[in-house]
A = this chain, B = another copy of it.
Amino acid sequence: MDTDDLRRRLSRDLDPEMREQPGLSALNQGIVGLIVFSILMAVAETETALVEGHTWVFDSLSLVLFVAFGAEYAARLWIAPLNPRFGSSLRYARTPAAILDLLVLISFLLPLLGLEAALLRMIRIVRLVRLARLGRYSLALQMIGAAVTDRRYELGVSVIIASGLMLLSSTALYLAEGAHQPENFGSIPRAMWWSVATLTTVGYGDIVPVTVTGRIFAAVTALTGIGIIAIPTGILAGAFSDALRRARGRGD
């Protein structure tokens, strides 16, 4: 097998647009696995209890991943001219996907240079999204995306309604509880922390109203929170139901 054959085969295996069959090639599946593993490693590395005494394990694995992703990056540059959408390696290197891959490579080098970069390492998550778009999950993501986009104004209005309610309930609690709990409700921005936790029904309970007036306002806020959840859920439910019906043909 000569170099050109290898390049064409690699192109079909690495670039989903060059692949005849639908779905993800075995090579890309392996890369997805490596990406997931690299994310888990980046997560684990922040926990000193896990790293302590095993730094050599993490360092070795980082090196292996760096080499693997480096090889992948080089291979993608090499096969780029075969895809008519890029034409040349340089044009591919300037795509957001390629820049992201380069940043991920750099993120492996930073800790070796003694630099801490938790956020940069989290770019690996974004890479996952890029690959998750391929294969069979692509249609599902497109459907979810289309349903959300289709109702963007309805969702936007429900965000505006929710923001307004959050401001009103923060103001109410600031007036009712501000004097009793200045630390927690002494200003509207402070009361907002409680308001978000209540309207989303998270309800941490670290900050709660203690006066009767405050609790009545809080009860109204909590009940309103059901609507805050019900409205976007209802909008999306209608959108998904509709998206599917359209996908199955207008005759249904």
Residues of A near any B CB (own CB < 8 A): 39, 42-44, 46-50, 118-119, 122, 125, 128-129, 132, 136-137, 139-141, 143-144, 147, 153-154, 156-158, 160-162, 164, 167-168, 170-171, 174-175, 186-190, 192-193, 196-198, 200-206, 208, 215, 218-219, 222-223, 225-245, 250, 252
Given contacts A140-B153, A233-B234, contact A225 B240 (CB under 8 A): no
- Set B144, B202, B227, B234: member contacting A203, Cβ < 8 A: B202
Complex alpha-carbon distance, A168 and B239, angstroms:
27
The reply to whether B164 and A137 form a contact with Cβ atoms under 8 Å apart is no
- Set B174, B233, B250, B252: member contacting A237, Cβ < 8 A: B233
B-side contacts of A140, CB under 8 Å: 153-154, 156-157
Centre residue among A175, A197, A206, A225 by max chain B CB count within 10 A: A197
The reply to whether A197 and B222 form a contact with Cβ atoms under 8 Å apart is yes
Complex alpha-carbon distance, A198 and B44, angstroms:
21
The reply to whether A154 and B143 form a contact with Cβ atoms under 8 Å apart is yes
The reply to whether B187 and A160 form a contact with Cβ atoms under 8 Å apart is no
The reply to whether B203 and A168 form a contact with Cβ atoms under 8 Å apart is no
Given contacts A223-B200, A237-B233, contact A118 B205 (CB under 8 A): no
